[in-house]
């Protein structure tokens, strides 16, 4: 049977690197803003351009563009340019799972 100290030591040894912790927390942090949560929700339904997201959320193009950059910086969304439009969609199914898992927690009784 392990001592309490041995347990602590084991956890300390298995702790992720600062780099991984930072990227992980920034990823959650980026999901953790109502505007971006709504953007993620919208994009879980369809690929959308800035003007459409702007209309959906009732916010300025500029505000949306700033937020899309935050999402893109952490690889949560991908961008596809078509003429002067920029279409955004979720980067992969991981993001959708992450979002769904969070939703399940929130909707729990």
Are 86 and 39 contacting, i.e. CB atoms less than 8 angstroms apart?
Answer: no
Site for DNA in 65-94 (CB under 7 A): 65-70, 79, 81, 83-86
In the structure encoding, which two tokens stand for residue 68, read together?
Answer: 């899309």
Site for DNA in 5-64 (CB under 7 A): 29, 33-36, 49-51, 54, 59-63
Question: Least Å distance between CB 1 and a copy of itself?
Answer: 13
CA pair distance 73, 99, nearest whole angstrom? 18
Q: Is 60 helix (H, G, I), strand (E, B) or coil?
A: coil
Binding mask 46-65 for a copy of itself (x = CB under 8 A): x-x---x--xx---------
Phi, psi of 12 (to 5 degrees): -60, -40
- Rounded to a whole number, what is the distance in angstroms from the first to the last CA of the chain? 37
CA pair distance 53, 65, nearest whole angstrom? 10
Q: Which residues bind a copy of itself (CB under 8 A)?
A: 4, 7-8, 10-12, 14-16, 18, 20-34, 36-38, 41-42, 45-46, 48, 52, 55-56, 75, 94-95, 97-98, 101-108
Q: Which residues bind DNA (CB under 7 A)?
A: 29, 33-36, 49-51, 54, 59-63, 65-70, 79, 81, 83-86
């Amino acid at each position: 049977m392990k001592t309490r100290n041995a347990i602590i030591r084991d956890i300390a040894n298995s702790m992720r690197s600062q780099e991984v912790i930072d990227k992980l927390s920034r990823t959650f942090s980026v999901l953790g803003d109502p505007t971006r949560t709504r953007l993620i929700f919208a994009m879980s339904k369809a690929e959308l351009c800035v003007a459409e997201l702007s209309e959906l959320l009732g916010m300025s193009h500029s505000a949306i563009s700033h937020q899309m950059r935050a999402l893109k910086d952490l690889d949560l969304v991908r961008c596809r340019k078509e003429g002067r439009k920029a279409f955004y969609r979720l980067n992969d199914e991981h993001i959708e799972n992450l979002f769904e898992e969070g939703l399940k927690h929130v909707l729990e009784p």
